[in-house]
């Protein structure tokens, strides 16, 4: 049994293994042969924040592995009345075999994990989105391979960006992050990414220049400028980071466009790019199903 809480705690080898396993499970499903090795185990999913892709992907992934799933949120549990997270988890571990949670702060989740005897999966916190990163890396592998790749991430240095930095560096993928001044990714994740990149002789660059980031990029990635739970931001600062036809002309001609969704059309990306042949956002969303199966197998060490 092991947790899947922070990308910082997952080795480069395990990240690569998760991507390869996800691809294998995707091919297996394509030929009508779902993996059933977690049959009759129980998964509880807790959502303290809204969710579409994560909720559906984990629910269906678990069922395809033979698991039973139960979903609760603040309105349908005592969490809404202020029950401490640790008390909720101490009850769940008596009923279920694993728990996935979409919540706010990362630290309380890490503290709870030290006291709980079943695997905990971080389905998103304010600081990280490690499940999304595995799906992103699978998408990059499928569309661009794994060698000599440059990813350009534009916009807010948020939880998606933090996790993507470490994920790309782990697989030897160059990653350039361009954000407005004051919205750079968390230094902890930048430092870890640079350590992993050094071992792979690849680059991690943090800049305020969107053109520098996009120049000769194989992948252009962006996310919403205001994430769930964020305070109001100065949107004018983000406008130069919009993915549009003028910016993408600096990338390679065969670049792919990625976004973790949901998207604000006309804000962080223009409609013509989102709906162009460059866009792989719905392939990326589909991959959440396959990578979530891999993560479930990973935490049970199957």
> Catalytic pick from 97, 136, 218, 223?
223
Contact 221, 153 (CB under 8 A): yes
Strand order in the sheet with 204-207: 204-207, 174-178, 150-154, 219-222, 256-259
Are 60 and 34 contacting, i.e. CB atoms less than 8 angstroms apart?
no
Q: Is the peptide bond before 199 cis (omega within 30 degrees of 0)?
A: no
Q: In this structure, what token pair is assigned to residue 273?
A: 């790019």
User: C-alpha angle with apex 54: 163 to 120, nearest 5 degrees?
Assistant: 70
102 labelled catalytic: yes
Selection from 265, 300, 301 nearest residue 97 by Cα? 300
Which of the following is catalytic: 131, 161, 168, 260?
260
Q: Is 168 a catalytic residue?
A: no
**53 is annotated as an active-site residue:** no
Check 59, 131, 132, 242 and give the catalytic one: 132
Q: What's the alpha-carbon Rg for the chain, to the nearest Å?
A: 19
Residue 114, burial from CB neighbour count under 10 angstroms (0-12, 13-18, 19+): exposed
Q: Which of 3, 102, 259, 292 is catalytic?
A: 102
- Note if 41 is an active site residue: no
Q: Rounded to whole angstroms, how far apart are CA atoms 176 and 154?
A: 9
3-class secondary structure, 150: strand
Q: What b/e readout covers 247-271, taking b as 16+ CB neighbours within 10 angstroms?
A: bbebbbeebbbbbbeebeeebbbbe
The single residue of 53, 129, 196, 278 carrying the catalytic annotation is 129
- Among the listed residues 3, 288, 290, 292, the single catalytic one is 288
Q: Which residue has the tokens 């390869």?
A: 20
- Is 288 catalytic? The answer is yes
Q: What positions carry a catalytic annotation? A: 102, 129, 132, 223, 260, 288
């Amino acid at each position: 049994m092991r947790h899947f809480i922070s990308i910082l705690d997952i080795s480069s080898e395990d990240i690569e293994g998760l991507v390869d396993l996800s691809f294998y499970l995707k091919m297996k499903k394509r030929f009508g042969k779902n993996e059933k090795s977690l049959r009759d185990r129980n998964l509880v999913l807790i959502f303290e924040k809204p969710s579409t892709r994560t909720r559906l992907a984990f629910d269906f992934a678990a069922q395809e592995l033979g698991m039973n799933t139960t979903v609760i949120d603040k309105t349908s549990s005592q969490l809404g009345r202020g029950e401490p997270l640790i008390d909720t988890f101490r009850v769940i571990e008596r009923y279920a075999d694993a728990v996935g949670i979409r919540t706010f702060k990362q630290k309380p989740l890490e503290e709870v994990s030290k006291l709980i005897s079943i695997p905990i999966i971080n389905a998103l916190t304010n600081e990280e989105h490690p499940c999304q990163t595995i799906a992103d890396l699978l998408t990059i592998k499928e569309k661009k391979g794994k060698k000599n790749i440059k990813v350009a991430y534009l916009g807010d240095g948020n939880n998606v960006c933090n996790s993507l930095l470490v994920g790309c560096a782990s697989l030897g993928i160059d990653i350039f992050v361009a954000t407005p001044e004051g919205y750079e990714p968390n230094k902890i994740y930048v430092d870890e990414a640079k350590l992993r990149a050094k071992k792979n002789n690849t680059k991690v660059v943090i800049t305020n220049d969107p053109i520098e980031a996009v120049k000769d990029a194989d992948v252009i990635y962006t996310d919403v400028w205001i994430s769930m739970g964020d305070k109001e931001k100065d949107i004018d600062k983000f406008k130069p980071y919009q993915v549009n036809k003028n910016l993408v002309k600096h990338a390679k001609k065969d670049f792919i466009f990625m976004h973790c969704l949901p998207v604000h059309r006309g804000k962080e990306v223009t409609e013509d790019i989102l709906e162009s042949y460059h866009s792989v956002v719905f392939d990326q969303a589909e991959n959440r199903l396959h990578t979530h199966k891999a993560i479930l197998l990973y935490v049970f060490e199957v």
